[in-house]
Amino acid sequence: MEVDLQHTLNEVVKIARRAGEFIRHEGEKFDRSNIVEKGINNLVSYVDMEAEKMIVQTLKFTLPEAGFITEEGTETEKAEKYNWIIDPLDGTTNFMHGLPPYSVSIALAEHDVPVLGVVYIISSDECYHAIKGGGAYCDRQKIEVSKVTEFKDGLYITGMPYTSFDKLDQFWEIFGHFMKYSHGIRRLGSAAADLAYVASGRSEGFFEHGLNSWDVAAGALLILEAGGQITDYKGGDDYIFGRGIIAGCATQPEMFKVISKYWEG
């Protein structure tokens, strides 16, 4: 059975916005005593879990044959062909401190390749979405990656290590190069939002190591459909499940070259 991607996308946008409204409402009364610690610097609140349950329960009706890959593990049964890849609240730490951005990320993968992606940035009420072969949009406005072609003219986004620090020295060398030889580098705290910003041309590129599929699946599709380029840290295409992503506009090959110069492993 083939999925009507446009119809499904319309439903997923509604689901993402509904989950975002719940998260926004909970944020207005957020109590830090509800925080559960899942390991060093990896904090999650009850809001994550409740939002994920809401998303999963609705998606089961939207596409019953699909399985799930979820951050909070509320549903873990994978299917052979279609799987939802969900991060109910990307940027949890930002959310807890009331600092944007934070977002809902939902992707549908066919044989592990994203064919539908929605990133709803709750803090700015922007909904980015794409289906494979259909272009990328922010709400109803079509978006494209930046037209910048020179690395030096770009503004870049990254994510810093927060659980494993064995490659911290390599990261700082890369960070320093971007600081010295471009318009600068930012760390915003939500990989899904970061990728959406690259897809819409607000930044020329994003890179981070140690991410999970639910962090990048929807955002990666946005960038590809917006005309961007993506590789993993080895220059291949295992950026959804390979734990590393380098994404950008025409400057992406130079980004990869710089990162490869300092990165080992």
Per-residue pLDDT of the chain (265 residues; tens, 9 = 90+): 688 999 999 999 999 999 999 999 988 876 666 666 554 344 467 889 999 999 999 999 999 999 999 988 888 889 999 999 999 999 988 988 889 999 999 999 999 999 999 999 999 999 999 999 999 999 999 999 999 999 999 999 999 877 667 778 888 999 999 999 999 999 999 999 999 999 999 999 999 999 999 999 999 999 999 999 999 999 999 999 999 999 999 999 999 999 999 987 5
Q: How far apart are CA 28 and CA 125, in angstroms?
A: 15
Rounded to whole angstroms, how far apart are CA atoms 15 and 136? 18
Question: CA-CA distances (angstroms) from residue 209 to 26, 101, 155?
Answer: 30, 19, 19
Answer for the pair 222, 229: CB distance below 8 angstroms, yes or no.
no
What does the alpha-carbon distance between residue 207 and residue 157 come to, in Å, rounded to a whole number? 7
> Does the domain formed by 151-262 have CATH 3.40.50.12280?
no
Domain ranges of the chain: 5-143, 151-262
- What is the per-residue pLDDT for 42? 44
Which amino acid makes up residue 69?
Answer: I
Q: How far apart are CA 15 and CA 17, in angstroms?
A: 5
User: Which token pair is 15?
Assistant: 């689901």
pLDDT score at 78: 93
d(C-alpha 86, C-alpha 199), whole Å: 19
Please state, as a whole number, how many other Cβ atoms lie within 10 Å of the Cβ of residue 100: 16
With respect to CATH, is domain 5-143 assigned 3.30.540.10?
yes
Burial status of residue 83 (CB atoms within 10 A of its CB: 0-12, 13-18, 19 or more): buried
Residue 187 exposed, middle or buried by CB count within 10 Å (0-12, 13-18, 19+): exposed
Q: What angle do CA 62, 103, 231 make, to 5 degrees?
A: 90
What is the model's pLDDT at position 26? Answer: 87
Give the Cα separation of 197 and 25 in Å (integer): 24
State residue 28's pLDDT score: 85
* Predicted pLDDT of residue 166: 74
